[in-house]
A and B are shown apart, each in its own frame.
Chain A
Amino acid sequence: MTQEMDLNQRFEDYIAADQKIEAKDWMPDAYRKTLIRQISQHAHSEIIGMQPEGNWITRAPSLKRKSILLAKVQDEAGHGLYLYSAAETLGITRDEMLDALHTGKAKYSSIFNYPTLTWADMGAVGWLVDGAAIMNQVPLCKCSYGPYARAMVRVCKEESFHQRQGFQVMLNLSNGTAEQKAMAQDALNRWWWPSLMMFGPNDASSKHSEQSMRWKIKRFSNDELRQRFVDMTVPQAELLGLSVPDPALKWNEETGHYDFGPIDWSEFEQVISGNGPCNRERIAHRVNAHNEGAWVREAAAAHAAKVAARADQQTHAA
Chain B
Amino acid sequence: MAKLGHEWILRLGDDALVLAQRLSEWCSHGPALEEDIALSNIALDLLGQARALLTLAGEREGQGRDEDALAYFRTDREFSNALLVEVPNGHFGDTIVRQMLFDQFALLRYEALAGQSAEPEVAAIAAKAVKEVRYHAAHSAQWVVRLGDGTDESHNKVQESLNVLWPYTQELFEDDAVSQACAAAGVLPLNASYHARWKEQVLAILEEATLNCPETSALLTGGREGKHTEHLSYLLAEMQVLQRTYPGAKW
Contacts and interface: CB of A to CB of B under 8 A. Distances in A.
A293 B48 contact: no
* Interface bin, chain B: 35 or more
B241 A289 contact: no
Nearest to A71: B44
Contact of B40 (A74, A169, A302): A74
Given A77-B33, A177-B249, A63 B154 contact: no
Question: Could you say which of A80, A289, A296 has the most chain B C-beta atoms within 10 Å of its C-beta?
Answer: A296
Given A70-B40, A299-B150, A299-B154, A176 B21 contact: no
B162 interface: no
B25 interface: yes
B146 A61 contact: no
B239 A303 contact: no
A292 B89 CA distance: 13
Nearest to B149: A303
Contacts of B92: 292-293, 296
Interface in B15-49: 17, 21, 24-25, 27-37, 40-41, 43-44, 47-48
Contacts of A115: none
B243 interface: yes
B153 A66 contact: no
B119 interface: no
Contacts of B33: 47, 77, 80-81, 84
Interface stretch (A51-59, A153-161, A223-231, A252-260): A51-59
A258 to B, nearest CB: 31
A298 B28 contact: no
Contacts of A50: 27-28, 36
A119 interface: yes
A62 B21 contact: no
Contacts of B72: 62
A293 B31 contact: yes
B246 A296 contact: no
Contacts of A81: 33-34, 37
Contacts of B32: 293, 296-297
B147 interface: yes
Interface residues of A, number: 47
A74 B31 contact: no
A278 to B, nearest CB: 13
A172 interface: yes
Given A67-B51, A74-B44, A293-B32, A176 B249 contact: yes
B139 interface: no
B153 A180 contact: no
Contacts of B243: 61-62
Interface string A242-282: 00000000000000000000000000000000000000000
Contact of A303 (B68, B146, B246, B248): B146
A292 to B, nearest CB: 7
B26 to A, nearest CB: 9
B151 A119 contact: no
Given A73-B27, A169-B251, A285-B28, 14 more contacts: A58-B21, A59-B242, A63-B54, A67-B48, A71-B44, A77-B33, A77-B40, A119-B251, A180-B249, A296-B32, A297-B32, A299-B150, A303-B150, A306-B149
9 contacts: A50-B36, A58-B238, A58-B239, A59-B242, A61-B243, A77-B40, A176-B251, A289-B31, A292-B31
